[in-house]
Amino acid sequence: DGSVVHVTRSTDGTFIGDDCLIGHLAMVHGCRLDDHSFVGLGAIVMDGCIIERDAMLAAGGLLTPGKWIPRGHLWAGRPAVYVRDLTDRDIARNRAGAAGYVELAKLHPRD
């Protein structure tokens, strides 16, 4: 809802892996989101950034150009900085959220 995926000439494009969660009003721009990554509501991911598998940028976060969020990390803030490691419970909840959206889509097929 209101999210934007954009590309730029300064990177190799924008890559979004499988089962990613991208929150409402988020913007991803010339970056790489690995499988099971999470971009929170209203967050911005700028050129050349990488969010690894099972990593998370919190709601409202601003990931400035070229930053990299390693697997299993939570980053937050403007600009975003490391906050903590995600727990197994956090990761399971994020994965369940993605699966829930897949099931919801099945209930509302396109005409």
DSSP 52-95: -TT-EE-TT-EE-TT-EE-TTEEEEETTEEEEEEPPHHHHHHHH
pLDDT in tens, 4-39: 888 877 777 899 999 999 999 999 999 999 999 999
pLDDT in tens, 71-105: 999 999 999 999 999 999 999 999 988 888 888 88
pLDDT value of residue 44: 97
Mean per-residue pLDDT for 42-50? 97
Q: How many domains is the chain partitioned into structurally?
A: 1
CA distance 109 to 95: 22
Mean per-residue pLDDT for 27-53? 96
CATH of residue 59 = 2.160.10.10
Please indicate, yes or no, whether the overall pTM of this predicted structure exceeds 0.85. Answer: yes
Which of 76 and 106 is assigned the larger pLDDT?
76
Checking if the pLDDT of 42 tops 70, the result is yes
Contact 74, 59 (CB under 8 A): no
Q: Which letter does DSSP use for residue 29 in this model? A: E
pLDDT value of residue 59: 97
Nearest to 63 by CA among 106, 26, 13, 95: 26
Contact 76, 93 (CB under 8 A): no
CA Rg value for the chain: 13
Checking if the pLDDT of 111 tops 70, the result is no
pLDDT value of residue 17: 96
Parent domain of 99? 4-107
